[in-house]
Amino acid sequence: MNNNTNVETQKKVFRFFSSVVLVVTLATLFGVMWYLRLQNLMNANRFEGKGNYVMIALYMVLSVLVINTFNGFEFGSARISILTMSQAIAVGLVNAMEYVIIILMIRILKHTWRTLGYIAALTLAEAVAVLVITYISTKLYRRLFPPFSILNIYGDYENDLVIKMNRRDDKYSIDGEISCREPHEKIVEELAKYDAVLINDVPSEIRNDIVKACFAADKRVYFTPKISDILIKGSEEVNLFDTPLYLCKNVGMDGISAAIKRMGDIIISAIGIILTSPIMLVTAILIHKYDGGPVFYKQVRCTIGGKEYKIMKFRSMITDAEKDGKARLASENDDRITPIGHFIRATRIDELPQFFNILKGEMSIVGPRPERPEIIAEYVKEVPEFAFRTHVKAGLTGYAQVYGKYNTTSYDKLKLDMIYCEKCSVLLDIQLILMTLRVIFTKDATEGVAEGETTAKVHK
């Protein structure tokens, strides 16, 4: 067993132990609240010993499932702020489910608000516990497992991946670089000096040789995928012959899953319209009062099959934001955005009218973000595969919205969207909807493009 294998085993043990501590702590806090307050609300219907254990066990199971959905057990991988936020949102959802369960069990209307108060107090205590455990675990992880020393093997195209990775100096330390055009023997000799290798946008034929060399030398490999890699990732094994064979179906969702997805779109959009109608009414009044202009902003976008439709959003810019007729994305510190616009963009309130687009069937809750025809045409000049995004219906949220940013390069957006196109399922949609709750509170997800840019950079 080599050193890298030992380190990976140790990391898994550490994460498992930290996850156990987190879940046991949450279950203990719930157990204390259950024994001291919640079960007393049941009066004559109080559980005996085993019933109480079942309630605590149920809480533990729900906690594991929901926290895992939000990637809340990634101790040492995610930033403390992001990890804590994921865990806190997960705990809030678990407690909301427990609240409904307890209310159904009590069946006494007068205890509704008292129960809510107990659950709120429990949530607050658990939020503090989550912060403490995650902070200590992450700091300890970083001390026990210093960042890998990485060799950057770069290709012909420039990108900012190294800059991004260097921002996470707790995980990555890019200590050297070499061009993929150097002789293979020199690359092999160089990579032997490092813990890991970053194959950064390298032609496939060269990358394959480097991957084999890394495998032979037991080196960890990070690499940027090509579109074909993502398409192949969703393939299935065909074990009918003595020759290995893989099958890429490239059909997306089956008919049953698509019907369930559409039904979910109708239900969620209808509920969304009802619940957010007060917010939309106040927003409409404020926008109109500010400059007397139109409340809504309608714009042509593309959905499945390149079909065009008019997306509805609350207007966040001045009325003549594109008086020159040129389509461009919002930039950082864009002076076209109104004061009200800054707020509704930061809080995603400007997106709420899209529930009507979803209800009409023009969009889905989950899918690639719809782009304007002009911007798609501009992207396609540099990245022809960008049109692949329209193989599924456009969405309000999606893979690129959850894992990318507003100013993510078009090629990286395409990769993220293609991952969704290959993996799309009802369960993945549910996970992405839940993960969107975390994105709402992440400021950098709304970063604009750089000043002077009209679209997100391509960086193929």
List of domains in the chain: 3-144 (no CATH), 148-224 (3.40.50.960), 255-446 (no CATH)
For residues 78-89, give the mean pLDDT.
92
CB atoms within 10 A of CB 241: 7
Q: Which two tokens stand for residue 440?
A: 């709402």
**Is 355:272 a contact under the CB 8 Å cutoff?**
yes
**Is 413:400 a contact under the CB 8 Å cutoff?**
yes
Residue type, 196: A
Residue predicted with more confidence, 422 or 210 = 210
79-83, 126-130, 447-451: range with lowest mean pLDDT: 447-451
Cα(191)–Cα(183) distance, rounded to whole angstroms? 13
Is a pLDDT exceeding 60 seen at residue 316? yes
**Is 325:418 a contact under the CB 8 Å cutoff?**
no
401 band by pLDDT with thresholds 50, 70 and 90: confident
Is a pLDDT exceeding 90 seen at residue 200? yes
**Is 223:214 a contact under the CB 8 Å cutoff?**
no
Cα(35)–Cα(49) distance, rounded to whole angstroms? 11
pLDDT of 402-433, one tens digit each? 988 766 787 888 899 999 998 899 999 999 99
Cα(397)–Cα(320) distance, rounded to whole angstroms? 27
Q: With pLDDT > 90 as the criterion, what percentage of the chain qualifies?
A: 65
449 band by pLDDT with thresholds 50, 70 and 90: very low
Give pTM, 2 decimals: 0.82
89-98, 106-115, 272-281: range with lowest mean pLDDT: 106-115
**Is 363:398 a contact under the CB 8 Å cutoff?**
no
pLDDT of 278-291, one tens digit each? 999 999 999 999 98
What does the pLDDT read at residue 375? 87
**Is 146:96 a contact under the CB 8 Å cutoff?**
no
317 beta partners: 337
What does the pLDDT read at residue 325? 56
Cα(183)–Cα(209) distance, rounded to whole angstroms? 11
The CA distances from residue 388 to 91, 254, 305, 313, 438, in Å, are 37, 18, 9, 25, 27
